Amino acid sequence: MIAPPSPQRPEFLRPLDVRDVDGARPAEPLDISVVIPLFNEKESIGELYERVLAALLPITERCEILFVDDGSTDGSFAALRALHEHDPRVRVIRFRRNYGKTAGLVAAFERCHGEVVITMDADLQDEPAEIPKLLAKVAEGYDVVSGWKQERRDPLSKTLPSRVFNWVVASSTGLPLHDVNCGFKAYRREVTTELTLYSEFHRFIPVLAAWRGFRVTEQAVQHNPRKYGASKFGTMRFVRGLLDFLKVLFIMKYLQRPLHFFGPGGAVMFLVGFALGIDLTADKVIHHVSIGTRPLLTLAVLLMVMGVQLFSLGLLGEMLRNFAYRSTAEFSIKQVLE
């Protein structure tokens, strides 16, 4: 039998001014939402549910577990449906096909009601008993707490590329996280409602959150060996991760000023081409040298045309940005006193 909701709010959850995307408060905001995207993890679902609930109930009964079935074909949804019928705190989102982890998180973030959102994988490698450690960091005032699999239980083929990737991300962004791609994280709800996620940006949520001004930290967590099945991510994830990281860097630096990215290169190209054109013109006028067949003439024209095109791209970017302007995307408000 399901226990009635506790009238007392946990002390570590300070009141938040939580708003949904449309600006309305949920009718009954919960304390914690646990979001678990999955793909073909039928064997682990029951055990994962029990372990997550065992970690949550000593903290609060005002909680929910939101599973996202990302197009599973192994009967995972039947197991999730059974859990939902047994316990209304279990909610399920089912995709028509496999869309990827970022899509799963976005769908869950738009529908969860917790003031603190925990994300974790469904393969039992993330240890639910570590949830209180993440919540303790949230209680210290952090907005994003990223798990750090300090002793990772994976083969070298996964750990070595991951270490290189994490080093590149930390060095390029200045965010000193050891495991930015760890799926075991805690967020204050305003983080999940403010970030724009697509492609495979789930890897870079801490980076994007820090760029928006949220406080980000990490917490060492236990990492278990995979108990059932095999990893669903192939080697191509490193290529996709690198491309997405380049997109994230571009967004962080030039989203609000595209002309600053395209303009300088275009101006330099045009000026170099123009200078070559002046030099060739001087040869033609002063020294009566034929320039029609000289390669420098072709280069000068090419550089000026490319310069104008790059500069025009920057202007088009500014026009598109003005057309799609949203004040909520320009800044992040932490608090308003009126």
Give 190's contacts (C-beta < 8 A, 6+ positions apart).
16, 17, 18, 19, 143
CA–CA–CA angle 265, 268, 270 (5° rounding):
105
Give the CA dihedral 179, 183, 184, 185, nearest 10 degrees: 80
Question: Each residue of 58-80: pLDDT tens digit?
Answer: 999 999 999 999 999 999 999 99
Q: What is the pLDDT of residue 154?
A: 74
pLDDT by residue, tens only, the chain of 338 residues: 344 444 444 444 544 333 333 344 445 678 999 999 999 999 999 999 999 999 999 999 999 999 999 999 999 999 999 999 999 999 999 999 999 999 999 999 999 999 999 999 999 999 999 999 999 999 999 999 999 998 887 777 777 878 888 888 888 888 999 999 899 999 999 999 999 898 888 999 999 999 999 999 999 999 988 888 777 666 677 778 788 888 888 888 887 788 888 999 999 999 999 999 999 998 888 888 888 888 899 999 999 999 999 999 989 988 887 777 666 666 667 667 67
Q: What is the pLDDT of residue 2?
A: 42
CA distances from 261 to 60, 112, 226, 267, 302 (A): 49, 37, 44, 11, 20
The total number of residues shown for the chain amounts to 338
Q: What is the pLDDT of residue 28?
A: 63
Q: What is the pLDDT of residue 332?
A: 66
pTM: 0.77
Q: How many CA atoms lie within 13 A of 15 on its CB side?
A: 4
Question: Each residue of 82-101: pLDDT tens digit?
Answer: 999 999 999 999 999 999 99
Rounded Cα gap, residues 162 and 152, in angstroms: 11
